[in-house]
Structure formats: C-alpha cells, structure tokens
C-alpha cells in the first residue's frame, strides 16, 4: 500500500499495511482533508489505478468518478462518505455508489468509512472499506427486469382474456408487445390457408413501403416466414448481413428487429415482429419472455378465430333454418287450397242428392280423408309458424295454466276414468302462455291416448324448483315406450308402431311441437320410461327467467 506519510498526519504501521493487503475487499485511506493517500490492491483494481500513481495528487480526479447510483451524476464533495466522516467524526455505513472510471468502465461500489485519530486524539483521516457490488446489482437489475416482463406477460394475458374479437386481439397484441419491449413499431403476420404466403394482419408505426413489401410475400422470402416455419425467435440487427431481412428495413429508421412465433397447440400460427430504432439483440431471459408472450398471443388468436367461426356457422345455420321454415310454410300453405277445393266439391256432390249409395259411400271416404288432410296441414302450418310470429312472453301463472288445460280435457279424462294428481308448487313464469299451454295439452292428450287397457289410469303433473330452472313432468301409467324410441318420437311424423298404438289416431306431430316450443323457450325435453307397459314420464325444463 502506497501511503503518503508526509504533511498529512497519517501514519500507518508496516504490520497494518500487510494486513490491508491480505484483505480481499478494497481499503482506502484518506487524510483529514478527504484526500486519498492510500489504497490496497483490491481498491486499486476497482479504481483502475497504477501502483505508482501519486494518489494524493490524483485524489480529486479519482473521487470525481463517484456518482449517485440512481441519477448517475457525480456526488458533490461534501457528500462523499470520507468527507462526511471527517465532518462528523463518525463512521458511515455501507453506502452504494456508481463508480465511473475515466476508461469508461462502470462499477457499483459500496463504501463504509470510519474515522481514525492520531496520538493527540485529533482526527487524522478516514479508513474506507470498498466492496464491488456490480455483479449483485446487475443480477438485481436482471431480476427486476425479468419480474417486470413476467408481470407484462400476465398483463397481456389478462387483457387478451377480456376480448374475443379477432381484430381487437391482434391490435392489443401489437401494442402490448411494443410496450413491454419498448419497441418503436410492431406487427402481427399470419399465413394464408395454404401456408405459402404471409400477410400483415395488424401493425403499428410501419411505413406503407414496408407493408407492401411484406404483405403477401412468399413464406420463403423473408425472416417472418423463416420464424413461422422454424418456430424459433430471431433477433437481428440491421448491420448484420441478413439475407432474409426485408429490403425496406435498410431504408427504415429501425436498427433492429425481433421476430417471434405465435404458438397455439404447440404449432406456430403466425409471427409477431418488433422493430427498434436502437440496435439491440434479445438474449437469454428476454428471448424466453418473448416466446412466452408469443404463446399467449397465439392462444388468444386461435380462440378468437374459433369464436368467429362459430358465429359464422351459427349465422349460416340460422339463415338455413329460416329458409327451411319459410319453405315448409309456403308448401303447407299451398297444399291447403286444393284440399279446400276437394272438400268443397265433395260436399257439393253430396248435397246434389243425385248419387247412388255406392257413390255416396265413396264421397264420404273422400270427405273423411280430406278432413284429415286438412287438419294435418293445419298442424304443419302451426308447427312452421311456432316462434316466427307474434310470440309475446307474458307473466304467466303456471298453476292456472295447468288448471285450464285439465279443464279443456276434462271430458276425455272422465271418459277414460283417469285419476289426476298435481305435485309441487307451480310458479309464475315469463313465457308465451299459448305455447306452454300447447305443451301440456299435447302431453296430456298423449297420456290419455296411450293409456292402453290400464285398469286404474293415473296422470300426474308436477314441477320441481331446480334453482336456475324449473323441471316440469307429465307422468302416466299407460303403455310405456321402449328405450330405442325415446329420442325418435320427438321428430316430426315419428310414431311407434306396435299392437298397442295401432288403433290410436295421430299424425306424429305432437311431440315435435313440444320439442320446438321447449327449445325455443331455452329448455330441454326428454322421456323416461321403463319400457312396454311400464308407463311414461315426459319431462321438460323452462328457465327461471
């Protein structure tokens, strides 16, 4: 340790000097004027000074490199820990500084100082311990940055979760990645279906020139296609002679470019591009972060695409459905007038009274058949119309509604000696009463029709409160339905043909009605039956509101 012992009152023994050299940390000795008069090798290394340098003469220059770690500006002389210790005659504990050396190198250092006194107990100078904390500081900075970026991934994921709109997802993604990686421009590029060309789906701050060069370019022609195919991040600077760099990039203000894959289900579905005016290359953790962001964006793009597809398919289905409904309506409507004509002429013939007995019978048969056809066409028309016209929901008292239905059917119920029971508390519901009445009407009608030769016919109508919906049921102890027909009977014109049903009249439209009305009201309908002769229970749900 070179210690200037003349004219400054600092005297350090040889033993102490040897001890200082042995210490790994830097040691600095100042005189009582705050001038550096000695350093051990460790401190010399940090300050980058030569053994032979006259420390005291260069003290001011050396200390001028001590800066505030946050503002990075030189610390004023009275605020240097050595001078603070001299002024207060007290130690100063571990203060952190940034040391900017004349050769441009920078170190983060921690300095602790203590005063020391001469024989007459007069302050002689300070002894400073200097620790190089550059590595720790860098690690801290990396960690903080990594933390910031991780929270950025989190933010981008949360944000993208909020929207399912394709355009919004793309635009948010460009903006957010620019934000996180302080990019000056950005873009999302997606391939065409054939995977041959790549298109700019969203962009920010990019010139028309650039966009027209890249938009629709061959997948093999530039770095975007390369990343899409190779599925790895490319971080390149304009200065590197990159063959796949877009030509216009050389004329742009951007010095570097990061291209990263947007992945969904492990596959690149597009690429993200981030342009920066500064020349930088992403490495290590930053690459991982941008890969993570790519996965978040990829998943969001895929989700919103699926959503769009579903919407389009639903629209198509709705329009096909409407078309079909109009078609059915038109056909049944057109069928109606010729039937009316047949009915009319048959009636006229009969009334003219100029018929043989045989002809009279035939005319009767024509009249019965056309009457059946007439009612069938009417039913079909009704079915086609359900949901399409004046179906206005209203507050409906379900107990009264069921009562009305039972009343309308009372004669037939009495004829068949059916015992009727009600179960549960019927609620008030906001429904199209006319429709719901039809559901019960059809189900009760079927229960009577398909009672078979049951000695004590029983009909139960019930309801259960299922929190977000009500479950209604109509149960009978009639002929029952085999499992294989449970689904089919709800389709139009589907009837079960057995010896039990043979003589029962019907068109196979009743349950199709029930299903259509229930589903239009937001519920579901199904049947439960243990099989032939075991009775049937028809159940349907209606949403609470």
Binding site for ligand ADP (CB under 6 A): 442, 446-447, 450, 476, 478-479, 481, 489, 494-496, 501, 506-512, 536
Both structure tokens of 417:
């000696």
Distance between CA atoms of 489 and 529, rounded to whole angstroms? 13
**Minimal distance in Å, beta carbon 471 to ligand ADP?**
18
Distance between CA atoms of 292 and 298, rounded to whole angstroms? 10
Concatenated DSSP letters of 177-236: HHHHTT-SEEEEEEE-TTSSEEEEEEEES--HHHHHHHTTEETTSSHHHHHHHH-S-EEE
Nearer to ligand ADP, 462 or 510 (CB): 510
CB 256 within 8 A of CB 235: yes
Nearer to ligand ADP, 69 or 506 (CB): 506
Backbone angles phi, psi at 304, to 5 degrees: -70, -30
CB 510 within 8 A of CB 446: yes
CB 430 within 8 A of CB 543: no
Q: Is 420 helix (H, G, I), strand (E, B) or coil?
A: strand
Nearer to ligand ADP, 237 or 494 (CB): 494
Both structure tokens of 140:
């801290």
**Minimal distance in Å, beta carbon 369 to ligand ADP?**
17
Residue 275: how many CA atoms within 13 Å on its side-chain side? 24
Nearer to ligand ADP, 470 or 513 (CB): 513
Q: Which residues pair with 353 in a beta bridge?
A: none
Nearer to ligand ADP, 249 or 447 (CB): 447
CB 489 within 8 A of CB 511: yes
Nearer to ligand ADP, 40 or 446 (CB): 446
CB 20 within 8 A of CB 54: no
**Minimal distance in Å, beta carbon 204 to ligand ADP?**
60
Pairing of β 267-276 and β 394-397: unpaired
What angle, 0 to 180 degrees and rounded to 10, lies between the N-to-C axes of helices 284-352 and 357-385? 160
Nearer to ligand ADP, 181 or 513 (CB): 513
Nearer to ligand ADP, 2 or 452 (CB): 452
Nearer to ligand ADP, 226 or 449 (CB): 449
**Minimal distance in Å, beta carbon 433 to ligand ADP?**
21
**Minimal distance in Å, beta carbon 495 to ligand ADP?**
3
Pairing of β 419-423 and β 458-465: parallel
Burial 376-401 (b: 16+ CB within 10 A, else e): bbebbbebbebeeeeeeeeebebeeb
Task: Tell me how far CA of residue 292 lies from CA of 153, 154, 156, 266, in angstroms.
Answer: 7, 10, 11, 12
**Minimal distance in Å, beta carbon 338 to ligand ADP?**
24
**Minimal distance in Å, beta carbon 464 to ligand ADP?**
20
Residue 435 belongs to what H/E stretch? Answer: helix 433-449
**Minimal distance in Å, beta carbon 156 to ligand ADP?**
54
**Minimal distance in Å, beta carbon 488 to ligand ADP?**
8
Nearer to ligand ADP, 123 or 496 (CB): 496
Nearer to ligand ADP, 50 or 502 (CB): 502
Both structure tokens of 411:
């004669």
Both structure tokens of 59:
């003290």
**Minimal distance in Å, beta carbon 447 to ligand ADP?**
5
**Minimal distance in Å, beta carbon 403 to ligand ADP?**
21
């Amino acid at each position: 340790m070179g210690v200037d012992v003349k004219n400054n009152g600092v005297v350090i023994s040889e033993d102490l000097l040897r001890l200082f050299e042995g210490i790994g940390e830097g040691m600095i000795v100042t005189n009582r004027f705050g001038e550096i008069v000695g350093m051990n090798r460790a401190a010399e290394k940090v300050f980058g000074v030569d053994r032979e340098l006259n420390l005291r003469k260069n003290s001011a220059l050396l200390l001028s490199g001590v800066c505030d770690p946050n503002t990075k500006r030189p610390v004023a002389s009275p605020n240097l820990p050595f001078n603070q210790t001299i002024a207060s005659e007290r130690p100063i504990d571990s203060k952190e500084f940034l040391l900017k050396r004349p050769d441009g190198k920078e170190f983060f250092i921690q300095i602790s100082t203590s005063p020391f006194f001469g024989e007459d107990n007069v302050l002689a100078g300070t002894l400073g311990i200097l620790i190089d904390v550059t590595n720790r500081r860098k690690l801290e900075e990396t960690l903080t940055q990594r933390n910031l970026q991780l929270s950025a991934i989190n933010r981008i994921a949360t944000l993208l979760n909020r929207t399912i709109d394709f355009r919004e997802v793309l635009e948010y993604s460009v903006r957010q990645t620019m934000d996180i990686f302080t990019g000056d421009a950005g873009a999302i590029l997606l391939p065409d279906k054939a995977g041959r060309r790549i298109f700019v789906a969203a962009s920010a701050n990019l010139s028309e020139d650039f966009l027209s060069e890249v938009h629709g370019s061959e997948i093999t022609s530039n770095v975007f296609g390369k990343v899409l195919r190779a599925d790895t991040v490319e971080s390149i600077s304009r200065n590197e002679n990159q063959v796949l760099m877009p030509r216009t990039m050389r004329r742009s203000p951007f010095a570097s470019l990061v291209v990263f894959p947007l992945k969904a289900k492990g596959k690149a579905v597009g690429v993200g591009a981030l342009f920066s005016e500064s020349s930088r290359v992403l490495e290590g953790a930053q690459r991982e972060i941008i890969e993570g962001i790519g996965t978040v964006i990829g998943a969001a793009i895929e989700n919103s695409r699926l959503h769009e597809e579903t919407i389009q398919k639903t629209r198509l289905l709705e329009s096909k459905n409407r078309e079909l409904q109009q078609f059915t309506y038109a056909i049944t409507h057109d069928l109606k007038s010729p039937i009316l004509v047949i009915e009319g002429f048959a009636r006229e013939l009969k009334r003219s009274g100029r018929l043989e007995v045989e002809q009279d019978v035939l005319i009767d048969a024509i009249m019965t058949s056309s009457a059946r056809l007439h009612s069938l066409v009417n039913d079909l028309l009704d079915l086609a119309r359900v949901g399409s016209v004046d179906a206005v929901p209203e507050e409906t008292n379900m107990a009264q509604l069921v009562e009305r239905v039972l009343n309308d059917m009372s004669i037939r119920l009495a004829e068949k000696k059916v015992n009727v029971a009600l179960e549960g508390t019927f609620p008030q519901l906001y429904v199209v009463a006319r429709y719901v009445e039809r559901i019960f009407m059809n189900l009760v009608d079927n229960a009577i029709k398909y009672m078979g030769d049951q000695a004590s016919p029983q009909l139960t109508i019930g309801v259960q409160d299922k929190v977000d919906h009500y479950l209604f049921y109509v149960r009978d102890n009639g002929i029952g339905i085999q499992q294989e027909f449970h689904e089919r009977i709800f389709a139009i014109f589907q009837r079960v043909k057995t010896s039990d049903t043979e003589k029962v009249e019907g068109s196979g439209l009743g349950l199709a009605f029930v299903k259509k009305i229930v589903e239009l009201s937001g519920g579901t309908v199904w049947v439960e039956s243990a099989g032939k002769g075991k009775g049937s229970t028809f159940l349907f749900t209606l949403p609470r509101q």
